[in-house]
């Protein structure tokens, strides 16, 4: 467990709600984020300066109007912002061009909901969780206890997905659990 100070970072973001395992909106959001992020990357790579970089992992902010929905695992009540960090060299005009290119090639329904935004979390506690999402509870409880010893919870629950869940063994999935602190 560590305390970190997260600087302002730019993200391609999309908001939604509902169970991430069954919600078509969630699948559409993730597809739009990765499609536009990779299109922007290759537009820069094929550009005059031939700049290449790695597309960053998917991240998610999670919350609910009634926080007991997390304890009861009522995922239909969950709200989320899914996002992918963008390097500073990915300007807003490039994002708009990438969105239009993806719209022409794939016509994804979530493209109009995408936005490029600076997000500043500041002081946070974070830890690496290894294992399936369904077993995050004790790890999250440790993060909350760490924060409560030093202050108070603030902001939204944040996860950074380091593993490709389509390919990996769930027992080896790696997720950074981050929580802002007051």
C-alpha distances out from residue 171 to 137, 165, 175, 176, Å: 15, 10, 11, 15
Q: Is it the case that residue 30 has pLDDT exceeding 80?
A: yes
- Among all chains, which residue has been given the structure tokens 């077993």? 135
The tokens describing 117, both together, are 């935004």
Distance in angstroms (rounded) separating the CA atoms of residues 113 and 79: 15
**167 band by pLDDT with thresholds 50, 70 and 90:** confident
Using alpha carbons, select from 131, 140, 138, 135 the residue that is nearest to residue 179.
140
- Among all chains, which residue has been given the structure tokens 């493209």? 111
DSSP letter at 7 equals P
CATH of the domain at 9: 3.20.80.10
**164 band by pLDDT with thresholds 50, 70 and 90:** confident
Q: Is it the case that residue 98 has pLDDT exceeding 90?
A: yes
Q: Is the pTM of this model over 0.85?
A: yes
Per-residue model confidence (pLDDT) at position 143: 94
CB 32 within 8 Å of CB 135:
no
Which residue range(s) make up the domain with 147?
A: 2-180
Per-residue model confidence (pLDDT) at position 162: 97
Mean pLDDT of 77-84: 96
The tokens describing 152, both together, are 């108070």
Half-sphere exposure of 172 (CA within 13 A, CB side): 6
pLDDT, one tens digit per residue, over 51-75 is: 999 999 999 999 998 877 776 778 8
Per-residue model confidence (pLDDT) at position 68: 72
Q: Is it the case that residue 140 has pLDDT exceeding 80?
A: yes
**168 band by pLDDT with thresholds 50, 70 and 90:** confident
Per-residue model confidence (pLDDT) at position 66: 84
The tokens describing 92, both together, are 């807003």
Per-residue model confidence (pLDDT) at position 144: 92
pLDDT, one tens digit per residue, over 102-126 is: 999 999 999 999 999 999 999 999 9
Residue 103 exposed, middle or buried by CB count within 10 Å (0-12, 13-18, 19+): middle
**How many separate domains does the chain show?**
1
């Amino acid at each position: 467990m560590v305390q970190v100070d997260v600087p302002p970072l730019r993200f391609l973001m999309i908001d939604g709600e509902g169970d991430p395992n069954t919600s078509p909106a969630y699948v559409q959001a993730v597809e739009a984020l990765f499609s536009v992020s990779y299109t922007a990357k290759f537009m820069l790579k094929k550009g005059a300066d031939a700049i290449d970089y790695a597309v960053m992992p998917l991240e998610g902010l999670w919350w609910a109007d009634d926080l007991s929905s997390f304890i009861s695992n009522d995922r239909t009540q969950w709200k989320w912002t899914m996002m992918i960090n963008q390097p500073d060299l990915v300007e807003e005009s490039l994002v708009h061009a990438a969105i239009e290119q993806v719209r022409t090639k794939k016509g994804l329904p979530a493209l109009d909901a995408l936005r490029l935004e600076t997000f500043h979390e500041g002081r946070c506690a974070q830890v690496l969780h290894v294992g399936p999402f369904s077993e995050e509870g004790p790890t999250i409880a440790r993060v909350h206890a760490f924060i409560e010893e030093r202050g108070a919870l603030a902001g939204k629950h944040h996860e950074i997905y380091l593993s490709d869940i389509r390919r990996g063994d769930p027992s080896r999935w790696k997720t950074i659990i981050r929580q802002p602190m007051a």
